[in-house]
Amino acid sequence: MSVVIPAAPQAGSKRRMLGLRGPASSAQPLISAHPASPFAESFRLLALNVRTMLSFDARKSVAVMSGYAKEGRSLVAANLALALAEEQRVLLVDERRRAFAGPGSLTDLFRPGGENGGQRIPGEMRRSIVESAHPGVFIMPRLVDTGGPDDDVDAAITHASDAGMYTIIDTPPALTTTAAFEEARLAGNVLYVVRDATTDLDAHRRVRDQLERLNVNVLGILLNEH
C-alpha cells in the first residue's frame, strides 16, 4: 500500500537546494511503499544513527524540527518512525496544529489498524495512543483544537519509554510557533531538518540559541534533498 502526502505549492519561493537545485517532488512517499529504494535506505541509515545516539537516553524521544514550514518534517518523522519500527516499536506524535496540517497529515497517514484493529492504549490522557496500520507504529493524533496546555505529550513519552518504544514528535515550524520548542524540551532531543537555503543563517542561529537555552540536545542535521 502506498500513501502519498501531496506537496505544498512552491509559489513565490526561489528554490535553491544545497548543492542540488532540482525541483521539489510533487509527492512524498513512505519507505513502506519502496522498501528497497535508496530513499528507504537513507532512512534506515538515519534510524541506525538515531538508535545509536539514543542508546543511553532514557526517554528515547526525538522532536523533528525545522525553522519554517515545508522543510519536510512530516516526511522525515513518518519515515523515521517506519524505519525505527522495523526493529522496535515507535510512538509517532502528531503535534502539528491545524493551521499547519495539510490534508495528508500524519494523523491521516497513520490511521488506526494493525493486529489489534487500531486498539487504543488506555491512559490518563486527552488523546489516546492508537496502533496504526503500519506494523510497530503507534500514532498519537494531532489536537483538534489549539486551546489550553497539553500535558499528553510528556505522559505519552513516559508511557512509550516505559514500554521500550521510541517516540518521534512531528513539531510545527519552530520560527512560527513556540509549541515546537515546548515539544523539543519534552523530547530532550531534536533532529533538525533542512531542505534548502530559503532559511537564512540568522534564523538557524535563533533556533540554536533557543534550544541551548532549553538545554535540548540536537542530535544532528538532516539534509532533505527530496
Partner 1 sequence: MEMRVFARALVRWWFLPVVMLAIALAGVIIYHRIRDKEHASSNVAIMQSYFPPPGEYVPPQLGFDALAGSQDLHARIANALHDGTTADQVGQMLSIDYQPKLNQPNPSPIYKVTIADTDRARAIKIDNIAVQEAKQLYGEINSPSAQDVASAFKTQTDAAQKKVDDARAALLDFEQKNDAFALSQRRDQEFGLIAQLRSAAVTASGRGATTDNGDGAALVAARVELNRLMALEPQYEQLTSDLTLASAARDRLSQRVSDLQIAGPSSAAQLADAQSQFTSVQATYGSALIALGDFQTANGISNLPAAVQGQTTMVNQLVVADATTRESAGAIDAAIGREQAELQRLLALEPQYDQLNLDLVNAESQRTSLSQHVLDVSIGQSLPASIQVRVLQDATIESNMVMTLLTYGLAIFLAVFVSLTAIYLLAYFEKMPASVEDIERVFGKPVIGRIPAAGS
Q: Closest approach of Cβ 173 to partner 1, in Å?
A: 16
Contacts of 82 (CB under 8 A, 6+ apart): 30, 31, 32, 43, 134, 137
Applying CB under 8 A, among 75, 78, 81, 82 the residue interacting with partner 1 is 75
User: Is there a contact between 20 and 225 (Cβ–Cβ < 8 Å)?
Assistant: yes
**Grid coordinates representing 79?**
519515515
- Binding span for partner 1 by CB under 8 A among 57-65, 127-135, 157-165, 194-202: 194-202
The DSSP H or E segment spanning 85 is: helix 73-85
Closer residue to partner 1 in complex, CB, 80/129: 80
**Grid coordinates representing 226?**
527530496
Closer residue to partner 1 in complex, CB, 1/20: 20
Q: What are phi and psi of 141, to 5 degrees?
A: -65, 165
The residue with cell 542535521 is 221
DSSP-assigned letter for residue 142: P
Query: How many residues make contact with partner 1 (CB under 8 A)?
Result: 40
Applying CB under 8 A, does 111 fall inside the site for partner 1?
A: no
Closer residue to partner 1 in complex, CB, 65/157: 65
Half-sphere exposure of 16 (CA within 13 A, CB side): 5
Applying CB under 8 A, does 72 fall inside the site for partner 1?
A: yes
Applying CB under 8 A, does 197 fall inside the site for partner 1?
A: yes
Applying CB under 8 A, does 76 fall inside the site for partner 1?
A: yes
Applying CB under 8 A, does 89 fall inside the site for partner 1?
A: no
- The span from the CA of 60 to the CA of 160, in Å, is 9
Site of interaction with partner 1 (CB under 8 A): 16-20, 22, 25, 38-39, 42-43, 45-46, 49-50, 53, 72, 75-76, 191-192, 194, 197-202, 204-205, 208, 218-226
